[in-house]
Structure 1
Amino acid sequence: MDRMDRGDSCRIYYKPFYKREDFSDERYNPVFSPTVYSGQTVSMQLDMELLNGWECPGAAPYIRTAGDGEIHKQGYIQLEKDTWKEITFRIPDTNGDLIDEVGIVLEGWSPAKAKTLAVVYLDDFSVTGDSCYSIDFGKQRKEFGQITPFAMDHGAWELEEGRLCLMCYEDAFAYAGNYYAKDYSVTTTICPITGENHLLLLRAQGAKRGYALGFSGQGKVAVYKNDFGFLRLAEADFGWETGKAYEMEACARGAELSLSVNGKELLKVRDDTFAYGMFGCGSLSMGRTEFGSFRIRTGHYMGWGG
């Protein structure tokens, strides 16, 4: 902190997500998925060496939401000379926005007559634990030919009135989330427009491995395993209709996979081929689908209504 007056501030942060504006060119069209989510716990240690100033500076942990650039501070504490302080907080709900900064705001608390000159030490910074967050497509954008925070494989994907819209003439899927996530649930609304396949993905390890669950065939729901080719693991009757929106939840817990529609469990199977992977959505054949906002719950947040 270099000669800061009272009210002057600076930020030290980890960058868990990048946007188009963070780059100066488009030479390789990167695709990003956040590495920090609501519900997780941030922890760090701070120490300070005060070289000048009448008051020790203040520090506030914070996150920044990517869509609006707003900084969400978690409350200030005053640092102490030559004393390590532990700061811990749970990342708050961002209401469907992504997080592109998580760190600490340092603010000078000494008046101009004795400007703050200090060395601040940061150690043991970590972001850990289960997450509970949503993806609001009204707050997402199309960048590098993709829809944040997804990576698309085939199909034409667009944002329309707060929905993620897919149109395809063959199989097409979108992927997001932690590649190493194990137990989690994915909830969204699905509105089939045309076609016979309207699916959610669980534990996807790229385009050739994972699970797909959802509407598959007229009046049917199904669970598929994709192991370099799709194999139907289970099927049940359900009279879904085009042009009608349904709340769909796909859940992976241990070796158990389940599919629920409008709050009713329709399918449950056991398969231990894939223990982790990303979530996503898409189709196995020609058609159009509209997806609403996603809600993701991992670990102990599964089944939690908050």
Structure 2
Amino acid sequence: MQMFQGVRLAYFNCLTFGFPVTGTQLIVFAVLSVFVILLCFDKWNRRRFETLANKLKGPPDYPIIGSCLESFRDKRLTGLVETLTESNEAEERVTDDDIMSHVITIAAAGFETTSLTASYCLLLLAMYPDIQDKVYDEIYSVLGDGDEPITIDHTSKMVYLKQVIHESLRLFPTAPLVLRQLQDDVTIFSGNHTLPKGTVCIITPVITHYNPELYPNPKSFNPDNFNAENVAKRHKYGFIAFSGGPRSCIGMKYGLVFVTVLLTELLRKFSVHTDMKLSDIKLKLGVTLHNTVGFPITIQSRKKSSL
């Protein structure tokens, strides 16, 4: 931990929409984050989670999860869930309560991060109308100008929109810190320092995301940073908004689909506008990365495309 004392992160010092923060502050923030999480499970909040759990649990009264489980049991759907719930070994079998708990974990943990991601995306698209037009053209080419409900197959075709979402997450990763414990000794700085096994490291995605060797003009909003060609050129951990490796964010795919559907449904019918510029954004470090000036956009009904 001594390495972090007094360290100033170059990213926060150089960004016009950033702020200075010391390594000591990062450590304090990490401790406070655990405290905040524990507060979520006081008596009042536990009752709220129990109410949500009961609503999700299943048939006959609340068939949200239960109907899906019944579909697996009736062989209308097959997959990992079926395998886990039908295991012959009792100690390996996953119960309905286990599945319900995982669903609540993913939904609850991803609520604020996905809403913030969508907000940053909309603000950036409002700042860059040419990019917004390109996103709309893609949506129109996939869905047309009708009211056809968006499906998972449609989201797979929203290539440029996904680039926009990833670029927004590069600029403003909603989870600003990741903690990892080393399983082996790790040598850094060309062999000049060794971190011993068991060390807890604080990883800040913004430092990687603003590295000019990975992203030319890192303070600019450029969705082409995430086209197939540029992604292939970069190290696989050049983008770590969801962390990386086998313990990356369990809700990554859920979150990306959620934001893709939300933005598609909104942008197919409305355009967004703002007088803000990228340099006007002021960030506040918390459990998530907030914009202290908010997201002042106006929404206008979109005319039918002439494509």
Indicate the structure (1 or 2) with the bigger Cα radius of gyration: 1
The structure that is helix-richer by fraction is: 2
TM-score normalised according to structure 2 size: 0.21
TM-score (norm 1): 0.21
More strand by share: 1
